[in-house]
Each structure stands twice: as structure tokens, then as C-alpha cells.
Amino acid sequence: MKSVKAINAAKSAQRDLIAKIGYDIAENAGQRDCKPPLKFAARGVGSETGYHRMPLPHPDPGSSNSVRRVPTNMHKGPIKDGGVLHAIQYELKNELDSMSEMSEMESLRLQMAVDRFSKVMSALSNILKKISDTQSAIITNLK
């Protein structure tokens, strides 16, 4: 269950990063051929340095908030064009998709474990009922 929660928390943090990049893309919608220079929105990543040290979320069931953030350089070299921002956003969306697939796998594993647990509990209940019925029959025969 911790793994599923960690993946969901990482996916949420990833969506937040994608949204921030979206603000930067919107801020520079009119840019063509690197003119005018990129402006980074206050609600966006904030600066070019932010893209070079972007804290990418990774699921970590052992941490307190279930997410470990790893500073990652999203683009080698200067970011001068809005197309680079689109490429970074696209890459993060692909990573989000792969986390969703991982989450589905963890959910299936969790469901299988719950099913197995349910079957074991049912078998145990049946055994205890048989024991109780046997004890009742023995007591009835003794009377």
C-alpha cells in the first residue's frame, strides 16, 4: 500500500511541475526565433536555473512524504527558445505516463494480495467452524 501511495504522490508532484512549465510556455507564446528573450513566469519554474536544477519527484515509500526529489538538469546548455520548454514538458509527461503504468502494476499486485488474504481468511473461518461443530457434536454425544 505504501508503494501505491508513493507513486500517487510522485505523480501529483510531477503534474505540478508540468503545470509550472505550462505557465512558462504561456508566458512566451509570442516568441519566435529566440526573440524576444524568454521570460519565466512567477507561477512557473521561475528561472532558467530552475530548469537546470529541477527537483524531479521519485516514489519513495520509505520517506515521510513518500516522494524523494532529485535535482536534475532538464536541458544541457542555455534555454533560449520556447521549443525547449515544450520538449521538457513532453519528456515529463512521458515520465508521468510511465509512473501511471507502474501505479497500475502496483494496484494489481495489491488487489491480488488482498484476494489471497481474503481466501486465507475464508479457509481459516471454515476450519474454525468445523472445529466448533465437532466440539458441539462431541459434547452432545457425551450428554
Average pLDDT over residues 103-109: 78
d(CA 131, CA 8): 44
Q: Is a pLDDT exceeding 80 seen at residue 26? A: yes
d(CA 112, CA 121): 14
C-alpha distance from residue 121 to each of 75, 115, 117, 128 (Å): 53, 10, 6, 10
HSE-CB at 74 with a 13 A cutoff on CA atoms is 26
Average pLDDT over residues 8-36: 87
4-13, 101-110, 126-135: the lowest-pLDDT one: 101-110
Residues 6+ apart with CB under 8 A from 116: none
| pLDDT tens digits along 33-53 | 778 888 888 888 888 889 999
- Cβ-based neighbour number of residue 78 at 10 Å: 12
134 band by pLDDT with thresholds 50, 70 and 90: very high
117 band by pLDDT with thresholds 50, 70 and 90: very high
pLDDT given for residue 64 in this prediction: 81
pLDDT given for residue 37 in this prediction: 83
d(CA 99, CA 37): 34
Q: Is a pLDDT exceeding 80 seen at residue 84? A: yes
Domain ranges of the chain: 2-117
